[in-house]
Amino acid sequence: MIDLKNIKKSYFVGERELTILKGIDLKISKGEFVVLMGVSGSGKTTLMNIVGLLDKQTEGDYLFENTEVSVLNDENLADMRNRYIGFVFQQFFLLPYLDAIENVLIPIVYSKKGIKHPREKARALLTKFGLEHRIHNKPSQLSGGEQQRVAIARALVNDPELILADEPTGALDSKTSGEIMDLFQMLNNEGKTIIVVTHDPKLAAFGKRLVRIEDGAISEDITT
């Protein structure tokens, strides 16, 4: 599914070139549950952005679903993201003017998949995550854990292959964090490919594979 070959990423800060990723080789297949671990500044978020088709590498090849993505334009990339990837972020990023179910439905607005009965599907997802009584609540009326579960439902509504979660538990207490990670495990068991990016060593245990990033390179890659 994901095939990164010698991926490099650098920025220019003024005259100086700042290299964030120094040649990453990484293959991730369907059905994996990868925890991408690294301290802040290690390049893990940059890597996640490239994997999630939100950013482009400076060098190297990236095959996503057997497509070389560096040649794709804005519209193709947007379409790929919509089709294959569900994003989950640390700050949830629910839209304040929409209620829970409407937030879940956002990817549907841009979808070309022809998902049948999206509203019923969104409702079913929220119910599955124990939010049936929260369906018409605005994000401001939800707890952090509830907001993140709405965000995960949103990530799933368009049937993506891959869930890409960036510090999904960073804003949650440890009990709620555990519940969210359990949820990812459940989704993985149902066949979704999951990548969780985090700096929190406690989360490593939830994945099936641990990839550690240090200073822009992979320092460890263990399948448990």
Please state the closest distance from residue 127 (CB atom) to other proteins, in A.
21
Please state the closest distance from residue 160 (CB atom) to other proteins, in A.
10
For residue 49, state whether it binds other proteins (rule: CB under 8 A): yes
Residue with tokens 């005259």: 15
E strand or H helix at 188: helix 174-189
Please state the closest distance from residue 107 (CB atom) to other proteins, in A.
4
CA dist., res. 200 & res. 194, Å (int) = 17
For residue 91, state whether it binds other proteins (rule: CB under 8 A): yes
Of the residues 75, 120, 140, 190, which one makes contact with other proteins according to CB under 8 A: 75
For residue 159, state whether it binds other proteins (rule: CB under 8 A): no
> Among residues 110 and 205, whose Cβ is nearest to other proteins?
110
CA dist., res. 43 & res. 41, Å (int) = 5
Coil vs helix vs strand at 217: strand
Residue 6 in contact with residue 183, Cβ under 8 Å? Answer: no
Judged by CB under 8 A, the stretch of 12-20, 63-71, 74-82, 187-195 that binds other proteins is: 74-82
For residue 87, state whether it binds other proteins (rule: CB under 8 A): yes
CA dist., res. 171 & res. 165, Å (int) = 13
For residue 74, state whether it binds other proteins (rule: CB under 8 A): yes
CA dist., res. 2 & res. 18, Å (int) = 25
For residue 83, state whether it binds other proteins (rule: CB under 8 A): yes
Please list the alpha-helical segments (H only) found in 22-173: 44-51, 74-84, 100-104, 106-109, 118-128, 144-156
Coil vs helix vs strand at 122: helix
> Among residues 134 and 154, whose Cβ is nearest to other proteins?
154
> Among residues 10 and 90, whose Cβ is nearest to other proteins?
90
For residue 105, state whether it binds other proteins (rule: CB under 8 A): yes
> Among residues 81 and 210, whose Cβ is nearest to other proteins?
81
Bridge partners of residue 193, in order along the sequence:
162
Count the residues of the shown chain that bind other proteins, applying the rule CB under 8 A. Answer: 31
Contact string 175-194 vs other proteins (x = CB under 8 A)? --------------------
Angle ∠(127,166,153) on CA atoms, nearest 5: 15
CA dist., res. 53 & res. 218, Å (int) = 20
For residue 154, state whether it binds other proteins (rule: CB under 8 A): yes
Instruction: List contacts with other proteins (CB under 8 A).
Output: 49, 52, 54-55, 74-75, 78-79, 81-83, 87, 89-91, 93, 95-98, 102, 105-111, 114, 154, 158
